[in-house]
Amino acid sequence: MKLLLIHPNYHSGGAEIAGNWPPAWVAYLAGPLKAAGYDDITFIDAMTNNVEEDELRARIAEMQPDIVGCTAITPSIYRAERVLEIAKEAAPDCVTVLGGVHATFMFKQVLSEAPHIDAIVRGEGEEVFLDFVRAVEDGRWYTDRKHIKGIAYTDEGEIIATQAAPTVKNLDGLTPDWSILEWEKYIYIPLNTRLAIPSMARGCPFTCSFCSQWKFWRDYRVRDPKKVVDEIEDLVENHGVGFFILADEEPTINRRKFTEFCEELIARGLPDRVKWGINTRVTDIQRDKDQLGLWRRAGLVHISLGTEAAAQMKLDLFNKETRVEENKEAIRLLREADIFTEAQFIVGLDNETEETLEETYRFARDWNPDLANWTMYTPWPFTPLFQELGDKVEVFDFEKYNFVTPIMKPDAMDRATLLDKVMHNYRRFYINKALFHYPWRGRGFRRKYLLGCLRAFAKAGFARTFYDLGKVGYWGPQSKEKVDFHFDDSRQIAQAQMADWEAMADRKKKATERRVAVRDQIKAEKARIAAVQAEARACGGGADTQIERTPAE
């Protein structure tokens, strides 16, 4: 069995500012495959190596793989679909399969617009993909596919989704094959060192309305901290990694295990050899303020905080369960612990104005994080907030759902003005940092890291890859009228996907109606009982008078 895994060649001016990100998904898939005896696995990182279509076609034609697998987040979905279309052209007998969060929830959309995709893996891929590979090897893929849990496919024009597969219960039993990556290609620009993105947990107990993590991973599971450190130690010793970012949405949720993780790193002397960063919530920083010193000794140097919004009404809309004043306090605590802070602001909702954008800048200056990002609100098409927005969503060109393109148009301004005002915030914030902060704050590592961050921003700025400014033609306020986001208006929601959403909405509506009816029945029954009791007391009965209780229908 020849297996070919491909990371699609998609670029945007967001996270790539900090460097090239290693596609951890391929390592986590390749590990179980090799453990099961599938050794002939080739990986093409078309994104990092900027592999164009002609080269990709030639390599697939030469290899003639049995299975070609690809992954996609929402903005890379069209590139992934094209990868598998090229695979079918170059190797007609191969079986094509797509995974990832977008395909998991939008499989009807994907299979409607990309009939050359043979199967979609829905949810976690390690166990499902292995079952799929075995079915292809045994020649029972077409005859037995309805029995493979966790996939979707098309059968004579009908889109079929099999029973959902259970989540991976034993995360510690998964051993990723990190050797499949070209480690010299994955560099974290601020420290000019190799970068890894391991995982400590999957899932999230919170249900932020704009996020997909809690939906994709379903239940929240945490690995054995020692196993995670084993993996990091391997990355440091065998692959030269000098910086890692935990892939978890919030690795500090489980205080006990995160503390054990930090203590294990210290016990093995790893903080002298590798530094790291995380994303987390401001509430965890306040809860664990007595642990921040331990975190720093363990090598944690960078925390990106989901402050999300300066206005409380936005935090409430996002279901963040945090207060504005908590953001400033969390940043102060981290600064005192010598941990670099990055504040994330979500902008571009329908109620955004020039005044609210100015407010986020004032908060950024007041809170004084080391870094600040203004991220365009991007309503993932498979999240509750997307459904609630309804007709307010005008752009269905998912390639632009990249956090730097204004998908939503605020009521009070056009998209070009929104971009211009966001750039105005960036210019003011980082000019101030470059002149009065980064070169003069601290010595040694602190100064090196801050100047490295500035170098990363400058590199992306001069190359005009930052925020996709080169693609949209933005050169400053004077160019605002000429900005073109190049939305593909031909992209629309497929009829099959729309029907699925409508059916889901109908089920939710009926479930809500049933809950309301039950509550009304219970309320009416309590009122009836209270009335009977009152009548009994009025007739001389005591409080212990027995009342016949009629169950609510």
* Terminal Cα-to-Cα distance of the chain (whole angstroms): 59
* pLDDT for 514 beyond 80: no
Residues 206 and 319 in one domain: yes
Residue 152: which of 134, 165, 168, 169 has the closest Cα? 165
pLDDT bracket for residue 295 (50, 70, 90): very high
The residue type found at 327 is N
Look at residue 367 in the predicted model and tell me its pLDDT: 92
Do residue 196 and residue 286 come from a single domain?
A: yes
The per-residue pLDDT for range 372-405, each reduced to its tens digit, is 999 999 888 887 777 778 888 999 999 999 999 9
Among 132, 161, 190, residue at a domain's last position: 161
208: CB partners within 8 A, 6+ apart: 214, 318, 319, 320
Domain boundary pick from 385, 418, 436: 436
| Contact indicator for 86, 53 with CB cutoff of 8 Å | yes
Q: Tell me, what's the pLDDT at 211? A: 63
> What is the CATH classification number for the domain harbouring 94?
3.40.50.2300
Distance CA 513, CA 534 (A): 31
CATH number reported for the structural domain that contains residue 186 in this entry = 3.20.20.70
Same domain, 73 and 131: yes
Task: Kindly state whether residue 84 falls inside one of the protein's structural domains.
Answer: yes
Task: Spell 16-38 as b/e; 16+ CB within 10 A means b.
Answer: bbbbbbbbbbbbbbbbbbbeeeb
What domain range is 33 assigned to? Answer: 3-161
Residues 81 and 193 in one domain: no
Cα distances from 507 to residues 13, 138, 150, 250, in angstroms, run 39, 39, 22, 31
Are 226 and 122 in the same domain?
no
What is the CA angle 13-99-386, rounded to 5? Answer: 60
- If you average pLDDT over residues 291-310, what whole number do you get? 88
d(CA 289, CA 308): 21
- Are residues 270 and 154 located together in one domain of the fold? no
Q: What is the mean pLDDT of residues 345-368?
A: 92
Question: Which segment, 177-181, 347-351, 385-389, is predicted with the most confidence on average?
Answer: 177-181
Among residues 436, 471, 487, the one where a domain terminates is 436
Let me know if residue 355 belongs to a domain.
Answer: yes
**451 inside domain:** no
Residue 462 in any domain: the answer is no
Average pLDDT, the chain: 89
pLDDT of the residue at 207: 64
- For 15-66, how does the pLDDT look when each residue is reduced to its tens digit (9 = 90+)? 889 999 999 999 999 999 999 999 999 999 999 999 999 999 999 999 999 9
What total of structural domains would you count in the chain?
2
43 Cβ contact list (under 8 Å, min separation 6): 4, 5, 6, 7, 26, 30, 180, 181
Q: Max CA-CA distance within the chain?
A: 96
Please tell me the predicted confidence (pLDDT) of residue 502.
Answer: 72
Q: Which tens digit of pLDDT belongs to each residue from 410-421?
A: 999 999 999 999
Q: Confirm whether 546 is domain-assigned.
A: no
Residue 503 lies in a domain: no
Query: 10: Cβ–Cβ under 8 A, 6 or more apart, which residues?
Result: 47, 75, 76, 79, 399
Residue 545 phi, psi dihedral angles, 5° rounding? -55, 130
DSSP-derived secondary structure for 137-174: HTT-HHHHGGGSTTEEEEETTEEEEPPPPPP-S-GGG-
Q: Are residues 407 and 264 part of one domain?
A: yes
Q: List 4's β-bridge partners, or say none.
A: 42, 68
Q: Are residues 290 and 378 in the same domain?
A: yes
Report CA-CA distances (Å) from 378 to 5, 307, 494, 495, 549.
28, 16, 20, 22, 52
pLDDT band for position 535 (cuts 50, 70, 90): confident
**Bridge pairing between strands 300-308 and 340-347:** parallel
* DSSP track, 289-303: GGGHHHHHHTTEEEE
Looking only at the bridges linking them, the beta strands covering 300-308 and 158-161 are: unpaired
Residues 219 and 313 in one domain: yes
Please identify which residue in the block is written with the tokens 């009335």: 531
pLDDT, position 210: 60
Q: Which residues contact 75 (CB under 8 A, 6 or more apart)?
A: 10, 12, 398, 399, 400, 401, 402
Question: Which pLDDT does position 552 carry in this prediction?
Answer: 42
Domain contains 78:
yes
pLDDT digits (tens, 9 = 90+) for 125-168: 999 999 999 999 999 999 999 999 999 999 999 999 999 999 89
Which of 159, 155, 142, 185 lies closest to 20 in space, CA to CA? 185
Task: Over range 82-87, report the average pLDDT.
Answer: 98
394 and 318 in a common domain: yes
DSSP for 335-392, written as a single string: HHTT-EEEEEEEE--TT--HHHHHHHHHHHHHH--SEEEEEEP---TTSHHHHHHGGG
Return the exposure string of 242-270: e unless at least 16 CB atoms fall within 10 Å of the residue's CB, then b. bbbbbbbbbbbbbeebbbbbbebbbeeeb
148 lies in the same domain as 194:
no
Residue 481 inside a domain? The answer is no
Q: How confident is the model at residue 322 (pLDDT cuts 50, 70, 90)?
A: low
Of the listed ranges 22-26, 295-299, 342-346, 443-447, the least confidently predicted one is 443-447
551 pLDDT more than 60: no
- Buried b / exposed e over 451-483, threshold 16 CB at 10 Å, is ebbbebbeebbeebbbbbbebbebeeeeebeeb
- Is residue 510 pLDDT above 90, yes or no? no
Kindly write down the DSSP assignment for every residue of 54-105, as one continuous string.
HHHHHHHHHH--SEEEEE--GGGHHHHHHHHHHHHHH-TTPEEEEESHHHHH
> Quick check: 212 pLDDT over 70?
no
pLDDT in tens, 67-78: 999 999 999 999
- What's the CA gap between 350 and 373, in Å, rounded? 19
Q: Are 195 and 120 in the same domain?
A: no
pTM of the shown model: 0.88
